[in-house]
Amino acid sequence: MKKILVLHGPNLNLLGLREPEFYGHLTLEEINAQLSNLAKDLGAELMIFQSNSEGDLVTLIQEHFDSADAILINPAAYTHTSIAIRDAIAASSRPVVEVHLSNIHKREEFRHHSMTAAVCVGQISGFGLHSYLLGLRAAVEAAED
Ligand code: DQA
């Protein structure tokens, strides 16, 4: 069974309450439940974490170098700033898929650049919950058994 590490970055614990015009009304628990349902259909196993801390996200990526077959990550605001997360992704030999609920290219200019996308297989941005669901399909597809 393919094992997928799912990482949610800072402030995503506030989903449901936080700027629903950008991020919708679903809570993180509801998104995780939908991901878990899809994972069952795809025959994948998920390891899901959320952290507000850049260092914790780096450590989680490192700790799963061996145990994850692929990584699905929404680095949230660290997308735009974090060389440390980018380097951790580059150091992992696993395929990584970057997702965003909102279309980052349609928002403020500082969100247009992703530090992390260039070391990922690809980026899915702007489809709300479906960014995550499409991203999970892409991660499972990219993962090696
Ligand atoms: C986000 C977009 C980021 O710019 C923002 O900082 C987030 C969420 C998204 O999912 O749309 O926190 O990654």
Is pLDDT above 90 for 145? Answer: no
Q: In this structure, are residues 2 and 145 in contact, taking their beta carbons and an 8 Å threshold?
A: yes
Q: Which residue's alpha carbon is nearest to atom 2 within ligand 1?
A: 76
pLDDT at site 30: 98
pLDDT at site 144: 84
Helix ranges, 24-70 (H): 28-42, 54-63
Is any atom of ligand 1 closer than 6 Å to the C-beta of 2?
A: no
Atom of ligand 1 nearest to the CA of 80: 4
Is 100 a known active-site residue? yes
Catalytic one of 8, 78, 100, 132: 100
Helix ranges, 64-127 (H): 83-91
To test ligand 1's pocket by mutation, which of 15, 79, 107, 131 has the most ligand atoms within 8 angstroms of CB? Answer: 79
Is 23 a known active-site residue? yes
pLDDT at site 75: 98
Beta strands (DSSP E) in the chain are 2-8, 44-50, 70-74, 96-100, 122-125
Catalytic one of 8, 23, 64, 78: 23
Is any atom of ligand 1 closer than 6 Å to the C-beta of 76?
A: yes
Is pLDDT above 80 for 44? Answer: yes
Kindly report, residue by residue over 48-86, the tens digit of the pLDDT.
999 999 999 999 999 999 999 999 999 999 999 999 999
Mean per-residue pLDDT, 104-110: 96
pLDDT at site 92: 96
Is pLDDT above 90 for 112? Answer: yes
Domains and CATH numbers, the chain: 2-144 (3.40.50.9100)
84 CA → ligand 1 middle, Å? 17
Is any atom of ligand 1 closer than 6 Å to the C-beta of 124?
A: no
44 bridge partner residues: 2
Kindly report, residue by residue over 5-26, the tens digit of the pLDDT.
999 999 999 999 999 999 999 9
CA atoms of 25 and 28, how far apart (whole Å): 10
5 bridge partner residues: 47, 71
